[in-house]
Structure 1
Amino acid sequence: MFGGRSFMVNEKMAFSAAKDGGLLVRVPPDRHAALLSVPGARQAEMGAGRDMGPGWIAVGAESIDDDESLSFWFAVAMDFNRAVTGGGL
């Protein structure tokens, strides 16, 4: 799915690990614009010039090359997942 390995939590996609080492992250739409200011974050696209819309951010591999950065994006995705599903984990 989405050209990588997607991780489903509580029956919703939380993030996807891309073949190039980057991530596709599901984020709260109301935090989307602010999260785009994090280094390495960009608007996710479903092909050239086709934005996926608020709530989907692509993060370059070079921006998640340490535990702190990767953990940040993992936490954003999991917090949103819990909010929309009411689930644990």
Structure 2
Amino acid sequence: MAYDDELADRVRELLAGESGVTEQRMFGGLAFLLNGNMALAVSRQGGILVRVDPEDVDRLLASSRAEAAVMGGRTMRGWLRVHATRLRTIELARWVSRGVEFAKSLPGKD
């Protein structure tokens, strides 16, 4: 299954005002990077993967409908999966913003 083009377009719209944004196909999905750091990805499994501060993961899991991101049977620390059915416009904007803010906190790779 390929990633959801419509969801990718919605993410692009939300990132339109950000500088340093690039896109890269990864693992059958589409990653959005900020200054070379991955912020989030539209997943081929549906929904998005969002990069967050690893210190915030437990709190976010307890207070949202996100799930721990698992790839290859391994939990990816600092990444959350949000299913497409949970990505109304406001929720998507919040998750995109969270991924962007964390990516901005990292040293640029460009």
TM normalised by structure 1 equals: 0.82
Correspondence for 1:36: 61
After TM superposition, which residue ranges in structure 1, 4 or more long, deviate above 4 angstroms? none
TM-score by length of 2: 0.68
CA distance in 1, matches of 2:102, 2:28: 22
Residue identity in the other structure for 1:30: E
CA deviations on 1:11-49 (whole Å, 9 max, x unpaired) are 01111101243101110111111111211x1111112x3
- 2:81 aligns to what SS in structure 1? strand
Aligned to 1:72: 94
2:76 aligned partner: 52
Secondary structure at the aligned position of 2:50 is classed as: strand
1:83 aligns with 2:105: yes
3-state secondary structure, aligned to 2:92: helix
Q: CA deviation at 1:85?
A: 3.0
Question: What is the aligned-residue identity percentage?
Answer: 39
Larger radius of gyration: 2
**Contact persistence 1:21–1:60 (CA under 8 A):** yes
Between Structure 1 and Structure 2, how many residues are aligned?
82
Q: Using the alignment, how far apart are the partners of 2:84 and 2:102 within structure 1?
A: 22
